[in-house]
Structure 1
Amino acid sequence: MHILFRRGGRALAATLLLSLALTGCGSDAKPTVAAPASSVSVTKPYDKLRPTQVKIPKIGADSSLITVAVNKDGEIAVPSVKEPMQAAWYRLSPVPGEVGPSIILGHVDGNNQPGVFFKLKDLAPGDEILVTRSDGKDVRFVVDRTTQVPKDKFPSDAVYGNTDKPELRLITCGGVFDHAEHSYQDNIVVYARLA
């Protein structure tokens, strides 16, 4: 599948298997994320500038950000479940503060303890998310909505689709843990806009 990245009016095609649904969020889950399944556009991909930290005061989340991409299996890599408090930025999404939907991933739990996004489902409209970037700029986002969706109905267009303003998507697992599949059945997705 082709995902178009727009920069300066030109489209750059990247071939990726993308249908982002976190497949590894639990203590014994696989540490990967499937990447977007329909052709969607991202406004501006990674260009050396990157986010370095995310803070969510309401839920006490505070993590440095590692940079992840798509692995050889076509899935978005996520931090190791052995380090559940580590969040990650998907580097094929825009840098937070740039036009488009920036994607930050984190575990709900792992290694028999709560993860950095354990309370992500508790975010409500108006709650604040702070992202620090490598240029020293602090970018403030405000939550628009929080949703819980089955992984097989992941809203790829809503999460990855082009926006005309800077936006942020925070993603983790949620719902019931399926022990047979070693995975949660749902995703929690937080949609936020630049304050």
Structure 2
Amino acid sequence: MPDLPGPRTGGGRRALGVAAAAVALTGAVFVGCGVLPADRPPVPPPAAARTATVDGGTAAVSERISSPGGPVLGPSEPRRLDIPKIGVHVTLGRLGLKPDGTVQVPPLDHPEEAGWYAHGAAPGERGAAVILGHVDGAGRKGVFYDLGRMRPGDIVEVGRADGSVARFVVESVEMVPKKRFPTRRVYGPLDHAGLRLVTCGGVFDRRIGHYTDNVILYARLTTR
């Protein structure tokens, strides 16, 4: 898994420098994920994204990721995640930081759960909201096993504590090597309300004990 941003600083700005330096969340956290050896998670096709240079490496990103403005909502914690296309309908947990500075993740023995990284934006606020989930675990498919099936134009909905529903349209889905994870693209500042869903993907390397890649979905708040 990728580097994650640190807590908000004064004025609501994300400490992106802290992300790379002190809040590293690597694939090692997901040791034991690869428990479905005969079944590989779906892989997003190249057509679901374009190629661009990000964070000094090459990563697939949407043409519209950098487009300005758009609707935003006020702050309110997310409570539920619904992705009709892949049958995801789950209550969201709240993820913070562990004592060693790494980010918490949903429990591996409950791979059907997903969690919102609470030190980032809330879904619907201006900024990057990040939700993490396992691809598999405990011998079962995880909540984001089928994330690679998502395509631009698909819809993701997040139910919020204030009773509102933040509705996002998918802009791109990419699979990137963990060694070239696009930290700034995923966690950096935005001028619109963005959502990123992140899980493991690609090939499970039994030698190192985790997946070699990440699958990342980029979406933005929509009124449609």
Q: TM-score, normalised by structure 1?
A: 0.81
Q: SS state of the match for residue 220, structure 2?
A: strand
Q: Does 1:106 align with 2:111?
A: no
Cα distance in structure 1, aligned partners of 2:113 and 2:179: 25
8 Å CA contact 1:49, 1:133 repeated in 2? yes
**What residue is the counterpart of 1:161 in the other structure?**
188
Equivalent residue letter for 2:203? V
The 3 A distance-change label for structure 1 pair 163 and 176 is same
Number of equivalences:
177
**What residue is the counterpart of 1:124 in the other structure?**
151
8 Å CA contact 2:80, 2:92 repeated in 1? yes
Cα distance in structure 1, aligned partners of 2:14 and 2:169: 30
**What residue is the counterpart of 2:208 in the other structure?**
181
8 Å CA contact 2:14, 2:189 repeated in 1? no
Q: TM-score, normalised by structure 2?
A: 0.71
Equivalent residue letter for 1:145? S
Q: Does 1:67 align with 2:94?
A: yes
8 Å CA contact 1:20, 1:76 repeated in 2? yes
Q: CA deviation at 1:76?
A: 1.1
Q: CA deviation at 1:3?
A: 5.2
CA RMSD after TM alignment: 2.6
Equivalent residue letter for 2:177? P
Q: CA deviation at 1:181?
A: 2.1
**What residue is the counterpart of 1:43 in the other structure?**
none
Cα distance in structure 1, aligned partners of 2:110 and 2:167: 26
**What residue is the counterpart of 1:41 in the other structure?**
none
Q: Determine which of 103, 113, 118 is the counterpart of 1:91.
A: 118
Cα distance in structure 2, aligned partners of 1:20 and 1:50: 23
Q: SS state of the match for residue 103, structure 2?
A: strand
Q: Does 1:81 align with 2:86?
A: no
Unaligned stretches of 5+ in structure 1? 30-36, 38-46
Cα distance in structure 1, aligned partners of 2:75 and 2:131: 17
Larger C-alpha radius of gyration, 1 or 2? 2
The 3 A distance-change label for structure 1 pair 183 and 162 is same
8 Å CA contact 1:169, 1:189 repeated in 2? yes
Is 117-126 or 174-183 further displaced after alignment?
174-183
- Identify which of structures 1 and 2 has the higher relative contact order when contacts are C-alpha pairs closer than 8 Å and 6+ apart: 2
